[in-house]
A and B are shown apart, each in its own frame.
Chain A
């Protein structure tokens, strides 16, 4: 409901409710998210170093199996039910990296498994991740358009 349409009683209620509302520890949440997200990235970096040290990958091509491994681990942990517990503590720290995307796809697929594979899993798998895909694609298109224009103009 829009704030300007609130009646005086509603406004007073909001005021009282705000007084008893538990304040969100924003700074603490940010710090935890930073460290948990960073820890996931460190694991990713370790995997990349492992791949290019022990296998026939270069630093550049090692990022493909690294991402695949991270997606596999995140999906497995989601299936076993641990990811949600980590996400409860870490918040955005687990949502932002590639593992968050894997989690959103896997958890939606697991949730709708009872509705059947085609209409249940297939239809609902991208319910959460769909918005990321749409806005990611649109953002990539806009950014590449700007980059092309800047390159053609000779700015970069």
Chain B
């Protein structure tokens, strides 16, 4: 009885994890919802989502400055450095003049999700976007 219960709990947990990953499957496109100079970041997100390793992407831009955080598939987390390089190269090919930051850190991902939410719902000022970007860049240096 106990063994059966443990097996059911494990299967339920695994199924829940998969469902959660599927839910996050698509990138948060800002241009269509917020319409605030985020077209390039949306284009980058589309490009990054083409990568097999990437589950979802969060990111914002301020002029030529761009920060993207990737949610990587669990099995690919052993090669984070390679994935970051691959993502950076693909974005750099798209926008050679932009300053690009690619992160796989979950904290950065959360911060960017918050920033995206703020841009989408509140239509925050440009200066505020810049401040948020600088704060996240500080985190990236750690």
Cβ–Cβ < 8 Å partners of B110 in chain A: 52-53
A60 contacts the other chain (Cβ, under 8 Å)? yes
Q: Which of A17-72 contact B (CB under 8 A)?
A: 49, 52-53, 57-62
B43 contacts the other chain (Cβ, under 8 Å)? no
Separation of A62 and B142 alpha carbons in the complex (Å): 11
Cβ–Cβ < 8 Å partners of B140 in chain A: 58
Cβ–Cβ < 8 Å partners of A49 in chain B: 106
Q: Tell me, rounded to whole Å, the shortest Cβ–Cβ distance linking A138 to chain B.
A: 25
Tally chain A residues at the interface, Cβ within 8 Å.
9
Cβ–Cβ < 8 Å partners of A52 in chain B: 106-107, 110
Return the chain B residue nearest A62 by Cβ: B107
Return the chain B residue nearest A51 by Cβ: B107
A interface with B by C-beta (< 8 Å): 49, 52-53, 57-62
Q: List 21 A-B contacts (CB under 8 A).
A: A49-B106, A52-B106, A52-B107, A52-B110, A53-B107, A53-B110, A57-B107, A58-B105, A58-B107, A58-B108, A58-B139, A58-B140, A58-B142, A59-B105, A59-B106, A59-B107, A59-B108, A60-B105, A60-B142, A61-B142, A62-B107
Query: With contacts A59-B105, A59-B106, A59-B108 known, what are 6 further pairs, Cβ within 8 A?
Result: A52-B107, A57-B107, A58-B107, A58-B139, A58-B140, A60-B105
